[in-house]
Structure 1
Amino acid sequence: MSKKILILLLFCCFLGFSQELPPILKYGSNSYGAGNQNWMITQDNSQFVYFANNEGLLEFNGADWKLYPSPNETIIRSAKFINDRIYTGCYMEFGYWKRQKDGLLKYTSLSKPIIDKMLDDEQIWNIIDYDQWVIFQSLNQIFLYDTKTSKFKIITPKGAISRAFKANDAIYYQTYTEGLFEIENGEGKLISNDPIILKNKIVNIFSRNGGLLLQTQFNGFYTFFNNTPVKWHTEADADLSASSIYSSQILSDGSFALGSVSNGIFIISKEGKMLYHITQNKGLSNNTALSIFEDYDKNLWIGLDNGINCINLNSPVRSFSDDTGILGTVYTSILHDGKLFVGTNQGLFYKTYESPEDFKFINGTKGQVWTLYSHKGTLFCGHDSGTFIVNGNTVSSLFTISGTWKFETVPGREDLLLQGNYYGVSVLENKNGQWAFRNKISGFDYSSKYFEITKNLEVYVSHEYKGVFRFQLDSDLRKTDRFITYKYPTKGKNAGLTKFNGSIYYSYKYGIFKLDPKTKQFEKDTTLSRVFEKDSYTSGKLMVDNSNRLWFFTKNYINYFSYGKLSSQLKHNIIPIPSSLTNSMLGYENITQISNSIYLIGTTDGYYTINIDDLKFNKYKISMSSISVNKSNESLRYAAIAGHSDFKFADNNITFSYTVPEFNKYINAEYQYLLENYQETWSEWSNKPTVNFKNLPPGDYTFKVRAKIGNALSENTISYTFTILKPWYRTTMAVIIYIIIFLVMAYFINRAYKNYYHQQKEKLIEENNRLLEIKELETEQELMKIKNQQLEQDFESKNRELAASTMSLIKKNELLSMIKEDLKKNSEEGNRNIKSVITTINKNISEEDTWNIFKDAFNNADKDFLKKVKNLHPSLTPNDLRLCAYLRLNLSSKEIAPLLNISVRSVEIKRYRLRKKMDLSHEEGLVEYILSI
């Protein structure tokens, strides 16, 4: 029971809702890629913003973040842009950064020459510019740097320094023990040691009405005239006394921005009125503000203990964010009887318009509210449960049969209203000043989220899943005989239908179509549909405001069409707020005209308002942030961002990065580029702040880029000329070398041809001579051949003769051997005469004599054969040589035996022994070998 009471109290009181706040851009450490804490903020002439970060100097150009690590890897505590330098201070080090030709910053130390003058563990917490001087302040000393002479003056007070300040064209500082000092002639001069100053830490000093305004850590503000502090009371005194103020700045409109520890930021008007108290539960990323800075566009930058926020104080947009989830998604809103009503998926809420009070829940409306409609002083609420009439902070039920989408008046009948329900269309009637449900129109039972009625009582209904219907009502608005479903245009997701300037329009992803009242067909409206061609379709929801403006949403813009005062042509206006930031429910976008220029747009977590009269776009300048080149698959190399550049042929991958330093949450810059000699036309508009060209061919190029904020073009167009050089083998020098090489080659080729033909001529002559010589040699060879043949014939003749004589010797020896054998038989009988004959025969068949005769004849026939054999085989005996000679004559063993006077078996043994002495293999024949010698 107690829980129900608590929930009821929450709905009834609806406490804790934030006020309507300017837009806040949030940047976490993950998005900017550096440390959590940001101690000081500054901005240069290009409107780039810089932060003294835990990890270095952090740069933001509106599109990209870049971190420059601190020179000695310590926390950068202070940063200040002065002239063309960004001065920074950190632990035992201070100096400046200057932009180089390639767009990057380079650091130069100023503290190194005076490092011996710095105290141990000294850190530079603040930097101030004054005339030609740059003042670096630590907690113990103040260093005065003369930018003209590069010399230093050092002030070392007795007590610790809380902070140094610049106000009324003078430099002040406070010490904890002595009071407030002013720097004169390079020395500190005590101007007040009032107890108030001694007891309060001064966070900042401002110029005010010819005097000073001291802002303290815990006790708010004190005016300071004639060296006397006097309390300045403001609406924020109670909040300031309960907070620890750490940082502050006076804004361009004279108001004050104060950053606290653990209690967010306060913005106080110059009259002392509390304008905003923004904390973490009201949109801030963190409750501790270490630094505050107002930029050129009057945006308020907050360097937080964890992240960076940018508050668009000058934005025409104010947002109401429901972090509790109690309010929910806003589907409809209306200003009625001085009260702002918002219908959400949680019910109906209201508050007095432009009051600081919180929204209150109206009992009995829990659930989905689809529409709020005012007619003749009566406020109708279309709800998931039906229809309610709203009376102040109460409602009364009017219709409960089904949910109600929409209300429309009946032409010519102010006492009747049509309402589109979940199951068709029904009629409400006013009798005696009381509205009541009269009837449902029979014959049509489809959901009627969007519908319109014409003068002749024709009703057109858009059904998201079935398309567009048309049906004719009877005169009493009770029934329809039939309805027609349009085949064209077809159904579409998030489609919409509305009446604008007397004509009915249907919108879906393929365009916006206008009803022709004569043909009763929809025809595409080229003027309105062109919007979807230029920007991506998100929703066809169409809305018409009290000033007869037609509103609808696309991916990158909020669009509205209006008729000019001097012309009947429609004028297209855009608000460059993309759908990703509007955060509306697709198909249920809603915009309500609150006043002549202020419109309320519902979101999934609240709403925001736009003052279209204040929706002005400055003439922003686009700037080139970097130009990088690289070879394929190699790291980037930065090039000069001004002048003309020549790039090697291998460095033909070029990336251009550019930006418009615009820091408005709801305004996005778009870019368009052209690369002359490569593209014929400008590119399409894109919010991508970089473009890459790969493998550019050699040639001269001019890159141009321009920006657009809303409908306003940037006041400048960047042009950058560069040349992709030809490869070395295509340069002029290379061509000259090629020509020289060609000429030299032509000379040598000509010379080679001459030598070749000369050589050919010589060769031909030589060939002819050789042919003659060959012919002579052939003749000689013929003669030699004839001689050889003659010699061969002679040799063969002699061989035949030798063979014949050898055979005759064989025959003779055989005959004598036979005779000797016969005689031996007879000699056994002792006949002396026979023995004498045998002796004579033995002398005639003497082996030695036979050999000598044969040897002489053989040498005549085959000269030097025996010598050759003896040289080849020195181990051969005379008998072996004799056997070789007989084998040379191709005599068989049987024929050799008589010549050697031995048996055939003995000849075979001799042949075997001869093979072994000649070391012949088993496969090699002895006779063949001897014949081959």
Structure 2
Amino acid sequence: MIRPKFAFLVISLVCFAQGISQEIPPIQNFSPSDYHAESQNWDLDQGDDKVIYVANNRGLLEYNGAKWTLYPSPNESIIRSLKIVGDRIYTGCYMEFGYWERNKFNVLEYTSLSSNLSDTILEDEEFWQILDFGERMVFQSHYRIYTYNLETNTASIIKSEAFIPKAFPIENTVYFQKLNEGVFKIENGQELLVLADEILQSEEIINLFQENGSLVFLTRNKGFYKFEDNSLSKWETEASPLLDQISLYSGARLSNGNLALGTISHGLILMDSEGTIIQHIDQLKGLQNNTVLSLFEDLENNIWLGLDVGVTSVNATSPYHVYLDREGLVGSVYAAAVTNDILYLGTNQGLFYKTLTNDSDFTFMEGTEGQVWSLENIHGTLFCGHHNGTFIIQNTSISKIDGTQGTWKIGTLDNHPNRLIQGNYDGLYTLEKRNGNWELRNKINGFDNSSRQFEVFDNNIFVNHEYKGLYKLQLDDAFENVVQLHIDETIKSSNSGIVKYQDELIYGYKNGVLKYDWDNDKFNKDSFLSPLFEHDEYVSGKLINDAANNRLWTFTNSSIGYVSKDGLDGTPQINQIPLSEDMRDGIIGYESVEPISNGMYLIGARSGYFTIDLNAIQDQEFEVQLDKIALAGKNTGLTNDSLLELTNAGDFDSDHNNLTVSFHAASYKKFQRPYYQYKLENIYDNWSNWSLDHEVTFENLPPGNYSFKVRAKVGDNLSKNTASYSFKIARPWYKSNLFILLYIISGVLGSIAIHSSYRRYYHRKQKKIIERNKRELELAKANSEKEIVKLKNQQLKDEFKSKSNELAASTMSIIKKNELLAKIKNQLVSDVEDKNSVKHIVNVIDKNLNQNDDWEMFKEAFNNADRKFLKKLKKAHPNLSPNDIRLCAYLRLNLSSKEIAPMFNISPRSVEIKRYRLRKKMDLQHDENLVDYILKL
């Protein structure tokens, strides 16, 4: 059987969960793996520089908006409490309390105060609360309260036998509770009982604060109590039934008077000053854990939760609120509409609705299962473009228009209030209102392409097909047929979009924004809107016309933008909301924006949606600060041994030319992340690209003077300052002034030596060139002489040839003459009977044949042709007779015996005998040829 008390708790929680808003402010969760420490976090505070500090099981955590840093506790125990006063961070842990201060390297160092106590700290004593009272600090444990004088380093102690849960600063003094005794305060160093009501004795007090002169007590299990007019009574609020059934662990009063309650097992509860519940955020709605150990409101009104597991920041005053569909109830939101105080969501799972006047969750509209593409409020009728066709929505009921499947969009037709046009998967259709009901009229013939995006201008319809291009259709007056069709394939692009805005046709795609020129029937680039898609900003060309507020919405990689005419002169201006694509988690190409109320917009996401209150967006003032600067090597980060002073300019030697700089802007808005931009003057004088990186390393810097500068921005809002750090890298020893002077002297001496060496070198080279030229001249001369000799030899050869020819001709002439004379003689002798009558002639012929004149002529010619032969012959064979020499000359000419015979006027036989005798005189061997021998001489 279920106990009544437990049943009431369940019912209360169910009613409570249904009675709160489903849209929650942005939440940032930091898990132990993010901050690299233990899970439990017992206290939180913030310094004047906006840096957040957390008391963790492992030590003191520091978070500057860019990174977490852990400082281990002084005795390796759990830090239970902390309080920041000026530049000091006071902490309390196991048997130890003291403060942390930054050294010259911007690193926290710990100083113990408890070590100065004359009184001994209790065994196993832990300090759970720290209060600030100017020159006195109060450290509270469960059985003592130490009031420490910072000027004298002495402490007064309030000791208690009873358990002290917490201490509270009220009216410049300390209030505290002793369980089973009541509420006390400290006056003149002594405890004084204030209230001893039974509820304040038995019930642990979580928080205590003043309100209009009354004391308000927040208890762990019984809710709120007020002490006013000397009477304690329960403060009954809307949350009282719930607070009576759950347990609280922490509570805080916010700067706007609201209350934040941290529960043991139900997450965070936010209440207004009247006790009305504003928000309930638990693990189902985004917290890491339902046990809230500590609460803190920072300078930007973010609520920080120290959880049993992790740290969470809730942007309570953010202009953004998120509906997270963690259970997959709604799905991806493609369209939204508000009619009659009902919010409709068109998703991939169907149509959902909820009433805006209460905080109930969404209800599914039966019969709309499947993909919803669009919701259009036209002439007071809400149309739903659905995968299954077209629906009309009336409050919480629907009716379907009979017709084709797959409706992308429904639009109006100019001058035809009773007709509508709709784009479907297979083209365009018209609807007509007959007898008060909308019906499908006809399909437009001549066009069968998918028509997800279209705009109507009289009888002209522009249809954007992201894969084929932009179609321009001209229809007949009945809107039944396409009269003319033109497609522009030059401007097609994935996720492109068209929209009719202020009677202009605008097309957005990856190369910018185009505006249609009706006079020239073409698109021209719009210089005002196109910069939105520059520098890798394009993700979607979807453009949405908010006609009710005269705004044109765009979506880029780093922001959502809208064009409005908010200025006094009506000049259009682009307003950018710094919501990057990864943060808004949009459905690219199917983005949706729907106005809900004045300045409030709903924007669809892949899982649920988020809202933006344009009126609540404010420029955030912030500063960028240098965090750490260190000398570093290649691929090494910041280390304690290499840290540098931030306040003084750096002066480094040449070996220390690698520098790592980290910086931060303490901004904790989830949807407003800081981006950084830096430059290093004297080497990188241009600002870097904006980036989330909060650390930069410069390697192998050359000698010189440098100034590092960094600035930040959140959205379009620049940081108030530009942080800077100047430093100098000295020249290496071999580039110092002394060595430069030595280099100059060495250079001069070296130049002289080199000059002298070159002179000697060129002198030797010149001498070698002269000698080479001389040899070349001699060689040329020798070659010339050789050529002359060659020419002379050739000339001699030619002369010898000529002489030889002459000699041969002369010899042949003599031979022919002698043969003729011999023939004449023989005929005279043989044919003439009177011998005496021809005797005289025969004698003349004999004389002519025997005379030596022919030989002398031959000898002279032979000597001219072959002068050396006769000398060699005489030298080799001095015993030869003139006739022998004559025979050798004839043989030298390679004449036969028959040819030689007329020369001697003898017979060939006699010539053979002469040749034989000549061989004997020359003493030739039997096998040796006489002619060959003579030719070789």
Provide closer, same or farther for how the CA distance between residues 18 and 213 of structure 1 changes in structure 2, counting only shifts above 3 A.
closer
1:376 aligns with 2:379: yes
1:594 alignment partner, SS class:
strand
1:513 aligns with 2:514: yes
8 Å CA contact 2:658–2:698 kept in 1: the answer is yes
1:682 aligns with 2:708: no
Provide closer, same or farther for how the CA distance between residues 363 and 147 of structure 1 changes in structure 2, counting only shifts above 3 A.
same
Name the CA distance, whole Å, in 1 between partners of 2:635 and 2:134.
50
Q: Residues 368-417 of structure 1, C-alpha deviation per residue, up to 9 Å, x if partnerless?
A: 11111111111100001000000111100014412111111111111111
1:592 aligns with 2:594: yes
1:528 aligns with 2:529: yes
8 Å CA contact 1:450–1:462 kept in 2: the answer is yes
| Superposed displacement of residue 599, structure 1 | 0.6
Map 1:53-92 to 2 at 5 A. Answer: 53-92=56-95
Name the CA distance, whole Å, in 2 between partners of 1:207 and 1:511.
59
Name the CA distance, whole Å, in 2 between partners of 1:77 and 1:731.
56
Structure 2 counterpart of 1:713, one-letter code? L
8 Å CA contact 1:167–1:212 kept in 2: the answer is no
1:683 alignment partner, SS class:
coil
Name the CA distance, whole Å, in 2 between partners of 1:47 and 1:327.
38
| Superposed displacement of residue 551, structure 1 | 0.7
Structure 2 counterpart of 1:430, one-letter code? K
8 Å CA contact 1:495–1:509 kept in 2: the answer is yes
Structure 1 counterpart of 2:534, one-letter code? E
- Give runs of ≥4 in structure 1 deviating > 6 Å: 14-17, 736-743
Name the CA distance, whole Å, in 2 between partners of 1:568 and 1:635.
52
| Superposed displacement of residue 565, structure 1 | 4.6
Aligned-residue CA RMSD (Å): 2.3
Q: Residues 772-794 of structure 1, C-alpha deviation per residue, up to 9 Å, x if partnerless?
A: xxxxxxxxxxxxxxxxxxxxxxx
8 Å CA contact 1:416–1:428 kept in 2: the answer is yes
Name the CA distance, whole Å, in 2 between partners of 1:602 and 1:612.
16
Q: Residues 298-328 of structure 1, C-alpha deviation per residue, up to 9 Å, x if partnerless?
A: 0000111111111111111111112211111
- Comparing 245-254 with 169-178, which one deviates more in the overlay? 169-178
Name the CA distance, whole Å, in 2 between partners of 1:182 and 1:266.
29
1:362 to 360, 365, 369: 365
1:291 alignment partner, SS class:
strand
Provide closer, same or farther for how the CA distance between residues 667 and 41 of structure 1 changes in structure 2, counting only shifts above 3 A.
same
8 Å CA contact 1:385–1:400 kept in 2: the answer is no
| Superposed displacement of residue 564, structure 1 | 4.7
Structure 1 counterpart of 2:656, one-letter code? D
2:151 aligned residue: 148
2:881 aligned residue: none
Map 1:869-880 to 2 at 5 A. Answer: none
1:639 aligned residue: 644
Name the CA distance, whole Å, in 2 between partners of 1:214 and 1:321.
34
Percent identity, aligned pairs only?
A: 43
Name the CA distance, whole Å, in 1 between partners of 2:289 and 2:632.
41
Map 1:897-912 to 2 at 5 A. Answer: none
Map 1:494-893 to 2 at 5 A. Answer: 494-534=495-535, 536-545=537-546, 546-567=548-569, 569-632=571-634, 636=638, 637-732=642-737, 734-735=739-740
| Superposed displacement of residue 218, structure 1 | 0.5
Provide closer, same or farther for how the CA distance between residues 248 and 610 of structure 1 changes in structure 2, counting only shifts above 3 A.
same
Provide closer, same or farther for how the CA distance between residues 487 and 640 of structure 1 changes in structure 2, counting only shifts above 3 A.
same
Map 1:121-132 to 2 at 5 A. Answer: 121-132=124-135
| Superposed displacement of residue 487, structure 1 | 2.4
Name the CA distance, whole Å, in 1 between partners of 2:345 and 2:169.
48
2:851 aligned residue: none
Name the CA distance, whole Å, in 1 between partners of 2:151 and 2:489.
81
Name the CA distance, whole Å, in 2 between partners of 1:639 and 1:325.
52
Provide closer, same or farther for how the CA distance between residues 526 and 635 of structure 1 changes in structure 2, counting only shifts above 3 A.
closer
8 Å CA contact 2:468–2:489 kept in 1: the answer is no
8 Å CA contact 1:55–1:70 kept in 2: the answer is yes
Q: Residues 35-69 of structure 1, C-alpha deviation per residue, up to 9 Å, x if partnerless?
A: 11110000001000000011111111011111111
- Comparing 539-548 with 515-524, which one deviates more in the overlay? 515-524
Q: TM-score, normalised by structure 1?
A: 0.76
| Superposed displacement of residue 732, structure 1 | 3.8
Name the CA distance, whole Å, in 2 between partners of 1:428 and 1:125.
72
Q: Which runs of 5+ in 2 are unaligned?
A: 1-16, 758-937
1:454 aligned residue: 457
Q: Which runs of 5+ in 1 are unaligned?
A: 1-13, 754-933
Name the CA distance, whole Å, in 2 between partners of 1:400 and 1:432.
18
1:401 aligned residue: 404
Name the CA distance, whole Å, in 1 between partners of 2:379 and 2:443.
22
Name the CA distance, whole Å, in 2 between partners of 1:354 and 1:643.
60
Name the CA distance, whole Å, in 2 between partners of 1:712 and 1:210.
42
1:763 aligned residue: none
Provide closer, same or farther for how the CA distance between residues 254 and 524 of structure 1 changes in structure 2, counting only shifts above 3 A.
same
| Superposed displacement of residue 713, structure 1 | 1.6
1:281 alignment partner, SS class:
helix
Map 1:142-541 to 2 at 5 A. Answer: 142-225=145-228, 228-455=231-458, 457-489=459-491, 491-534=492-535, 536-541=537-542
1:531 alignment partner, SS class:
helix
Name the CA distance, whole Å, in 2 between partners of 1:152 and 1:740.
73
| Superposed displacement of residue 169, structure 1 | 2.4
Structure 2 counterpart of 1:700, one-letter code? N
Provide closer, same or farther for how the CA distance between residues 208 and 702 of structure 1 changes in structure 2, counting only shifts above 3 A.
same
Q: Residues 891-920 of structure 1, C-alpha deviation per residue, up to 9 Å, x if partnerless?
A: xxxxxxxxxxxxxxxxxxxxxxxxxxxxxx
Name the CA distance, whole Å, in 2 between partners of 1:165 and 1:17.
31
8 Å CA contact 2:19–2:360 kept in 1: the answer is no
8 Å CA contact 1:504–1:514 kept in 2: the answer is yes
Structure 1 counterpart of 2:114, one-letter code? S
Name the CA distance, whole Å, in 2 between partners of 1:615 and 1:635.
37
| Superposed displacement of residue 563, structure 1 | 3.0
| Superposed displacement of residue 227, structure 1 | 5.7
1:414 alignment partner, SS class:
coil
8 Å CA contact 2:427–2:444 kept in 1: the answer is yes
Provide closer, same or farther for how the CA distance between residues 733 and 227 of structure 1 changes in structure 2, counting only shifts above 3 A.
farther
- Comparing 355-364 with 684-693, which one deviates more in the overlay? 684-693
Name the CA distance, whole Å, in 1 between partners of 2:566 and 2:177.
61
8 Å CA contact 1:300–1:312 kept in 2: the answer is yes
Q: Residues 743-801 of structure 1, C-alpha deviation per residue, up to 9 Å, x if partnerless?
A: 9x99xx9xxx9xxxxxxxxxxxxxxxxxxxxxxxxxxxxxxxxxxxxxxxxxxxxxxxx
Name the CA distance, whole Å, in 2 between partners of 1:115 and 1:315.
49
| Superposed displacement of residue 113, structure 1 | 3.1
1:108 aligns with 2:139: no
Provide closer, same or farther for how the CA distance between residues 16 and 191 of structure 1 changes in structure 2, counting only shifts above 3 A.
closer
Alignment length (residue pairs): 734
2:241 alignment partner, SS class:
helix
Structure 1 counterpart of 2:100, one-letter code? W
8 Å CA contact 1:18–1:321 kept in 2: the answer is no
| Superposed displacement of residue 686, structure 1 | 2.1
Structure 2 counterpart of 1:717, one-letter code? T
1:413 alignment partner, SS class:
coil
Q: TM-score, normalised by structure 2?
A: 0.76
Q: Residues 2-30 of structure 1, C-alpha deviation per residue, up to 9 Å, x if partnerless?
A: xxxxxxxxxxxx97996111111111111
| Superposed displacement of residue 115, structure 1 | 8.2
Provide closer, same or farther for how the CA distance between residues 417 and 702 of structure 1 changes in structure 2, counting only shifts above 3 A.
same
Name the CA distance, whole Å, in 1 between partners of 2:403 and 2:118.
83
Q: Residues 787-824 of structure 1, C-alpha deviation per residue, up to 9 Å, x if partnerless?
A: xxxxxxxxxxxxxxxxxxxxxxxxxxxxxxxxxxxxxx
Name the CA distance, whole Å, in 1 between partners of 2:257 and 2:566.
39
8 Å CA contact 2:56–2:79 kept in 1: the answer is yes
8 Å CA contact 1:168–1:212 kept in 2: the answer is no
